Amino acid sequence: MTETRVGLGFDLHRLVEGRPCILGGITLPHDKGPQGHSDGDAVLHALTDALLGAAGLDDLGTLFPDTDERWKGADSATLLGAAMERLREARWTVNNADIVIATEGPKIAPHRAAMRARMAELMGTDVERVNVKGKSLEGLGALAGGTGVAVQAIVSLERL
Ligand code: MG
């Protein structure tokens, strides 16, 4: 019997000047970047929470608190890698991940392919199993004008 699970993740970061714009594990050419303790990569944070949620584990902030020396200032790719290690220990493999990035900051479309490749690499899965799309906010709400980035991620896991 194959067991299948789904998990949902969400994250939100302000975009501020003087920060590199690291999203989905890559650096985008943009004059603002996500504010945060580490690199502020809201895409990897949402994805990691979705993976942990599907596996029935605690969330990102609980498992890898930045008050712990091991995780203080750790980059988000390292945290995703640590989450993947937990999943592998429990024999989970990634069926697929799908991600929506809502922002009026950096353009997402030109960087979709690179983000997909990087996240597939970090999860040890095929690129066709990882999808990303950018959504404009139509000038509405608190994130209008590129003040922030909101991310939803959904994943499906499987184990035999
Ligand atoms: Mg975050």
DSSP per-residue codes, 93-153: EEEEEEEEEEESSS--GGGHHHHHHHHHHHHTS-GGGEEEEEE--TT-STTTTTTEEEEEE
Average pLDDT over residues 52-79: 91
Distance 22 CA to ligand 1 centre (A): 12
**CATH of 3-159 among 3.30.1330.50, 3.40.50.300, 3.40.50.720, 3.30.365.10:** 3.30.1330.50
Distance 2 CA to ligand 1 centre (A): 32
Q: Could you tell me the pTM of the whole model? A: 0.96
Question: 48 pLDDT exceeds 80?
Answer: yes
Of residues 148 and 73, more confidently modeled: 148
pLDDT at 70: 85
Please list all protein residues whose beta carbon sits less than 5 angstroms from ligand 1, which is an ion: 11, 45
> How many angstroms does the Cα of residue 12 sit away from the middle of ligand 1?
6
Better-scored residue on pLDDT, 137 or 113: 113
How far apart CA 63 and CA 84 sit, in angstroms, is: 12
User: What whole-number percentage of the chain has pLDDT above 70?
Assistant: 100
Query: At residue 71, does pLDDT exceed 90?
Result: no
Query: How many angstroms does the Cα of residue 1 sit away from the middle of ligand 1?
Result: 35
Q: What is the CA(13)–ligand 1 centre distance, in A?
A: 6
DSSP secondary-structure letter at 19? S
Q: What are phi and psi of 130, to 5 degrees?
A: -125, 120
